[in-house]
Amino acid sequence: ESNHVSFTDKVNKVLKEISKEKLVILDNVKQGIERGAIEIYQDFEEDIYQALKEAYPKMKKYKNLILFYPTKTVYPYPKRILHGFRKFCFEHSIDFEYLEEVYEDMVIKRGDLFVTIEESDLVSLVKQIREDEFVLGKDVGIISYNDTPLKELLGITVVSTDFKKMGETAAKMILEKEKGSYKVPFNFIDRNSL
């Protein structure tokens, strides 16, 4: 099993071949790699940490915190998401566990709070919660990572980057020939599942 990293030596070599004046880096900025004239980025560790802090008053009613953090995906999630989650839990003395994915026939208990990253895990989890006849947002809770129209429709609470703002900012900076760094807002959006 290989460890995925955002920037390999090969990627960095290719980035160095692009004129810095023409280089636009979206989403992930890392020290030690070629910097772009425009950088519109997320701070994965600090973002999830701050969003969970905001969600904390509503999280307190749950007994167990379970994070589904897939490590074997084709497009891996930055480890810094995990670091921010861990930092939040340690600071608030919360016991938590990691699972690779939602397993079929997983035992769900009243008082469980789940944090999902993959869409497929969210779907499996909601299905199992309904089959077990738990009330979402009362008996068990879900916080999902990154908003989508489907999550909005289903009333799923999320912690999410503002992707619309990311795209708008990139377009504006390119069109107006601006240079610089911009950190995209990351929000806790409280709906019915927490």
pLDDT tens track for 90-102: 999 998 998 888 8
Q: Which residues contact 148 (CB under 8 A, 6 or more apart)?
A: 119
Q: Who has greater pLDDT, 52 or 27?
A: 52
pLDDT at position 35, please? 56
Can you list the positions of beta strands (E) in the chain?
A: 24-27, 38-41, 64-68, 96-99, 112-116, 141-145, 157-161, 180-183, 186-189
Give percent of the chain above pLDDT 70: 81
Q: How confident is the model at residue 125 (pLDDT cuts 50, 70, 90)?
A: very high
> Is the Cβ–Cβ distance between 82 and 69 less than 8 Å?
yes
Ranges of beta strands (E only) in 18-95 are: 24-27, 38-41, 64-68
Most confident of 73-82, 144-153, 173-182: 144-153
The better pLDDT of the pair 178, 15 is held by 178
Phi-psi region of 119 (alpha: psi -120 to 50; beta: other; left: phi over 0): alpha
In the predicted model, what is the mean pLDDT of the chain?
85
Bigger pLDDT: 40 or 57?
Answer: 57
The candidate with the shortest Cα–Cα distance to 64, out of 92, 39, 94, 44, is 94
Greater confidence (155 vs 35) lies with: 155
pLDDT of residue 86 exceeding 70: yes
191: its two tokens: 């709906």
For residue 12, pLDDT over 90 is answered with: no
In the numeric block, the tokens 């973002």 are attached to: 47
Tell whether the model's pLDDT for residue 2 goes beyond 50: no
Reported as a single tens digit per residue, the pLDDT across 49-74 is 999 999 999 999 999 999 999 887 76
- Which pTM value belongs to this model? 0.82
Among 102, 65, 101, residue whose Cα is nearest residue 85: 65
pLDDT at 178: 84
**Whole-angstrom Cα distance, residue 115 to residue 65?**
8
98: helix, strand or coil: strand
